[in-house]
Each structure stands twice: as C-alpha cells, then as structure tokens.
Amino acid sequence: KIVAQASFHGLGAEALALNAFSVMAAATGQYFLSQINSQMGLMNQKIDQIMGFLYGDKKAELIAEISFVKYAFENYSSIMLHDSQQVATISSLQESRKIAIKDIEFYMYDLTSKATAKAKNYQDFQSLVEDAFQIRRSLELSMQLYVSSSIMESYYAENSDHNYLESLRADMTYYINKCNGRILSVFSKLNGRNSEYKATAFNKIDTSVLDQEFEKVIYELSNGENSKMHELIDSAILQAKKDCKIFLTNKGDAYLSA
C-alpha cells in the first residue's frame, strides 16, 4: 500500500544542488593542486627533457610514475566526480609514493658513493662531480614525486582529519630534511676534495669553476631549497584543512568563499 509520495521536484532540486557543490569542490581542489604543481620545477618539464638527465634501471620506472602523477594533477576535477576512478587513483598514488621513496634511496646510495670514489687526476674528478650533479637532479625529481603523490593522496581522499594531516606534514618534512642533509654532506665532501687539488708548474689546474658550483649547491641546501619545499608542504596542508564554503544563488550561479 502506498502511504505517501515524495515530491520529485524537491528531490531533483536537492540532487542538483549536491551535484553543483561536488563540481565546485572538485574545481576548488583542482585550483589548489595547480598552484602546488606549478612549484614542482623538475616535474613540470616535458618528459623528453626529464629523460635527458635520468639514467640507469630506475629511468623507465620514474618516468612512468611522473607521467601518472601529471595525469592525476590535470584530471583531478573530473576524476573526483567518479567514485571508482577516484578510489583507483588513490591506490595508484600510494604506490607512486612508495616507488618515489625506493628511487630516492637508490639515487642517494649512488650519490654517496661518489663522495669517496677514487680519481686518478683532476679530469677524472671533474667527471665524477658531473655524475654527482646528474644524480642530484634525479634525486630532486624523486623527492618532488614523493611530495606530490603524498599531497595528492590526501586531496583525492578528501581526508581533512587534523591528526592525519599533521602526521603527513611531519613525515614529509622529516624525510625531505633527511635527504637534503645527506646530499649536503656529499657535496661538502666533494668541495673539500676539490680544494685539495693544487696547480703546479707542469700541471695547470683551475678549481674555481667547481668551487662556484659547490658553493651554490651548499648555499641552496643550507637555506633556499629547504624553505621552498617546506613552504610548499605547509601551504598544501593548510589548504587541505580549510573548510570549502560554496554559495549558490537563486539564479543558479555558484561562488567560492574567498
């Protein structure tokens, strides 16, 4: 027996409003993620440019994960409107984060070995240093992948729990600091080795070029680079904590609260 009948008009309007809020929330997340993505210098390069400095067994793996994360960045607002795709993307981002850590440790081991690698002469040492700088770029890319996938997982999961976000912030900050500290240690040792080479009457050696390059890296790792990444992490976590307030007008327009 039918006791009563719901108003189809009212339910339709309610569903329409919910859909509008969902679309706006997804668009808002897309905006904030775009701001974050714009600061990931190496990850914003074209794939063929990235392939130019990557090497070894991890090259294909890292390129694949970067391509996926770029795809997840660019299609956030669309994927968020489809539950099955959203869940699958979260799982893939978790995997990207694990792969990023594996690649960081791989490149870190490779870089650390350069600090004590033997060089027969200054030319060999210069070649060794060139390899170290190439490894550092691969490391930076892996670190950006780690931070990007970690942040994006929280956005895709729409997890604004305070304890979770603070734990995520602490984990990212600690690991990035640890990595930068290890990189700084390697380049400080290489800088020390560079200063030990002396020119002789029969062998003219100019160490000033590498001196300048080492000073730049050491300064960045001691000051600028750390703070930039920290600012990015802090900004992303702060936005994830904020409530998203959206207003609908009787004309059907939607506005995001500033």
Q: pLDDT averaged over the chain?
A: 79
Decide the pairing of beta strands 246-248 and 254-256.
Answer: antiparallel
Write b or e for each residue in 58-82: b if 16 or more Cβ atoms lie within 10 A of its Cβ, otherwise e. beeebeebbebbbebbeebbebbee
Average pLDDT over residues 182-191: 94
CA-CA distance, 70 to 72, in Å (whole number)?
A: 5
pLDDT digits (tens, 9 = 90+) for 224-241: 555 677 888 888 787 766
pLDDT of residue 30: 62
Instruction: Using the structure block, give the residue that is written with the tokens 């650390």.
Output: 112
Q: Closest Cα partner for 33 from 202, 120, 150?
A: 150
| pLDDT 10s digits, 134-180 | 899 888 888 988 998 998 898 888 888 889 999 999 999 999 999 99
Give the C-alpha separation, 90 to 77, whole Å: 14
The answer to pTM > 0.85 is no
Question: How far apart (Å, rounded) are the C-alpha atoms in residues 79 and 26?
Answer: 9
Tell me: pLDDT of 221 over 50. yes
What does the pLDDT average to over 113-120?
Answer: 92
Contact (Cβ atoms closer than 8 angstroms) between residue 165 and residue 237: yes
Q: Is the pLDDT of residue 189 over 70?
A: yes
